[in-house]
Amino acid sequence: MKTIRKYAWIAGMAILAACGEVTSAQSQPLLLRDVTLIDGNGGAPREHIDLLIQDGNIARIGTGLDTNGVSVLRLSGKTVMPALISAHVHVGTLKDSANDGRFYTRENVLRHLKKYEDFGVLQVLVMGTDRQLLFESGLADSSLKGLTPGARLHSAGYGFGVSGGAPPAAFGMDLVQRPATPAEAAEQVAAMARLPVKTIKMWVDNAGPGKPKMDPSVYHALIGAAHKNGMKAAAHLYYFADAKQLVKDGIDIVAHSIRDREVDDTLAAEMKEKGVVYIPTLALDKFAIAYGDTTAWSNDPFFRKSLEPGAFAFITSPQYKNNIRNNPNYAEKIRALETALKNAYKLHQAGVLVALGTDSGASPARAQGFSEHLELVLLVEAGLTPLEAITVGTKNAAKALRVDADYGTIEVGKKADLLVLNENPALHIEGTQSICRVFKAGREVSKGPLGP
């Protein structure tokens, strides 16, 4: 496996000096002047491009645009790309070195969303671990409308699991519903449809040896009820056989990698034909083994800034390292990541829509914000080009969230959710970490995690 590179410029960026200066009043339309543009559609970067932002949208794209009556931000040498979108995260339940439902407060949710924003991630789909507060307080609606700080939060509600199986009720998953029959599954989905939820999440595989898996009749009912109520269905899985049956039954989103064996051409073709979204969450599998040794990013300020207070001491402790190394499944976890990398590349090559997601926020090791950039690195390690990986994290993830009409690419008429970078990630994917400015709907909201 390739070593994940670490660039000294990340630690030493002179953010204020490097990011350019605004001329004229910022209340006017804003012109980003002379940038290298990566638009998210997969094409080669375009150099010396001007972007005009007006009323939160991209108004014009071209060269030598008129500067009369507009504020000008001169960005020669900088790269602009769409903001990242993560289609599998968890928020609100992580605090310090623990996950618990009691941490799920408005303050903690907003703190996490702000962290994603600082790392250039402006939309997230929380996969099945939200709580009543989100809906009863109006936070779900206000976040989606951009009325609160931070990334826009899309919710998969409370999720669906198995009694005595996955997911464990601890770690903030005590509100996951566990239908015993198809009828009960349909009733619970119908109740969830009254919430601002467009995707449901189900845990299909078991939580360990001897634990029960979800009965196929139950997940078939969950999928059918989701579609009846205008929602998509996402599945937490591990095994090829489960993926094969779920695709046959109409699953919309495979929310983790298939890791027990390589995907065959038949399943890949069926996934493409049915428009199934594949979210490989490679970072999850990387984190499962990485801290058994010293990681390439341990002392990277970009990584350290993403961690919860106390998390660094926790994940670098000898006890944590020994627990990983001495896990009886350690060798299997290494092999699982290798298989996940192969399957991500094979499905991408087969034309399946691969979208960015990481499971960040589900544990202290899965650092929010950093995980999304690590996922891009791992996608390139799997065989994608940097530009293809960026499309996975922008355009494709927007399609997974069904917001691609307004987000995911830099095009006239779309929302100006943008990252300004000191480096060009088309040359090395780690360049996405050189965040200089973050624009949300045309308004600068951050100078990145290492900025002032």
Question: In whole numbers, what is the pLDDT of the chain averaged over residues?
Answer: 94
Q: What is the pLDDT of residue 208?
A: 75
Length of the chain: 452
Q: What is the pLDDT of residue 27?
A: 65
Q: What is the pLDDT of residues 378-420, one digit of tens each?
A: 999 999 999 999 999 999 999 999 999 999 999 999 999 999 9
| Listed range (34-48, 159-173, 367-381) with the worst mean pLDDT | 159-173
Q: What is the pLDDT of residue 210?
A: 82
Identify whether the C-beta of residue 100 lies closer than 8 Å to the C-beta of residue 171.
yes
Q: What is the pLDDT of residues 51-109, one digit of tens each?
A: 999 999 999 999 999 999 999 999 999 999 999 999 999 999 999 999 999 999 999 99
Per-residue pLDDT band for 9 (boundaries 50, 70, 90) equals very low
Q: What is the pLDDT of residues 317-365, one digit of tens each?
A: 999 999 999 999 999 999 999 999 999 999 999 999 999 999 999 999 9
Q: What is the pLDDT of residue 89?
A: 98
Q: What is the pLDDT of residues 240-251, one digit of tens each?
A: 999 999 999 999
pTM: 0.95
Q: What is the pLDDT of residue 45?
A: 98
